[in-house]
Amino acid sequence: MRDVALLLALLRAAPTAGAQPKRRGTLLVSHFYNEALLLPYWIAHHAPMFSSAILIDYNSTDGSAELVRQLAPRTWKVVPSWDGEFDAVNLDRQVKQWEMTRPDDWRIALTTTEFLVMPGFHELLAALDPGPSGHRVLHFHSLIAVGDDTIPLKPPSAEPLVCQRGVFVEPQRGLLLGGRSGGAFYDRFMHVGLGSNYVYTPGRHHMGGSVTQAENNAFYDGGIILKYMWTPWPETRSRKMQIGHKVSSRDRKMGAGVQHNQMSNISTRAADERRAGALDGVAKYDGTGKAPTNGTGGGGEPAVPALALGLLKRWACGKGLHEHDGGAGMTIGRRSRRVVAGGSRTADFLYDQ
């Protein structure tokens, strides 16, 4: 009788023929202060992608935390910040601490202004899974969303923000107060399998520890980050003008957080003029397909905007989120290495770095 019971237990534990392996969880970590405008759009965009999330609240006073509790899945949690200031070093320590609560998940940290567009999200991550003894780092390019703000803003229930405000530009000096020469601004990393053997440099634009320089230099072409720092406008103007006072004195002395300080203590008119001046003459690309802009239509776009236009078309306002696509790509230097389930091949897709 005991042998029969043991046999039944073994049969129950054995994998069923044709059964699929359990899909890894996906963890999103973020931090916010008074983001009531963008949070509903950001939550709606990312909720189908991430099985859990930790959102670090910097003592918001506009009901942001309540919005998360009302709109986000139950597996998304709001936690208080260790301190009341944005200090890059302390913030990144908090981010890693919360990432470590889900060590086996795919993990990424985004701000409320950063929207990850990745068609076939779950299928791609399953194809890229390194297995129990490996690790994978995905490095996403970023682009700056700038409009079209002539169109009235609708609630997220009517249309995703990426479809309402899908006009973008490449990161450039006027918008970021810094050159693009060789340095990433809002490029982000998603990773799995690193355990605790990684560190972020301040701002999380570079990784160390077990992450090699080659992995830092490689860009994954299956997704893109759209950064909503200049649109919807003028709705986001007030958030840019009030965030500067949250930057720590240490970061101010080091010259860090310039993107948070650049709009502090100026008039709304000056803010409008600064934005308009920064965008004057800059090539714009319309990812919505609704109207041509001065950077589209010729087929000769730089590689990263061209990549984004293709991804946004496939993403199709969220309809392409579950698109089956085994062609996950990664670039090292200037040549794209595409990684597919069961092997890899090199494609002739070049980035203009």
**315-183-189 Cα angle (round to 5):** 45
Residue 238, pLDDT score: 78
Cis peptide before 305 (omega within 30 of 0): no
Q: Who has greater pLDDT, 8 or 25? A: 25
H/E stretch holding 252 reads helix 249-254
Cis peptide before 132 (omega within 30 of 0): no
C-beta atoms surrounding 80 within 10 Å: 11
Joined together, the tokens standing for residue 174 give: 């006027």
Q: How far apart are CA 85 and CA 324, in angstroms?
A: 42
**What's the pLDDT tens digit per position in 223-245?**
999 999 889 998 888 776 665 55
Query: pLDDT grade, residue 297 (50/70/90)?
Result: very low
Average the pLDDT over 98-127 and give the result.
Answer: 97
**309 to each of 44, 139, 164, 246, how far by Cα in Å?**
21, 18, 15, 35
Q: What residues does CATH 3.40.50 cover in the chain? A: 23-112
Which neighbouring-strand residues pair with 116? Answer: 225
State which amino acid sits at residue 133: S
Question: 229 with 113: CB under 8 angstroms?
Answer: yes
> Does the CA dihedral 135-72-143-198 come out positive or negative?
negative
List helix spans (H) across 262-348.
268-279, 303-315
Q: How far apart are CA 309 and CA 181, in angstroms?
A: 23
pTM: 0.81
Q: Who has greater pLDDT, 230 or 54? A: 54
Query: pLDDT grade, residue 329 (50/70/90)?
Result: very low
Strand 26-32 relative to strand 106-109: parallel, antiparallel, unpaired? Answer: parallel
**What's the pLDDT tens digit per position in 300-326?**
678 999 999 999 999 999 999 886 544
**What's the pLDDT tens digit per position in 147-194?**
999 999 999 999 999 999 999 998 765 565 444 444 456 889 999 999
Q: Does domain 23-112 have CATH number 3.40.50?
A: yes
Res 71 pLDDT > 80:
yes
Q: How far apart are CA 111 and CA 30, in angstroms?
A: 5
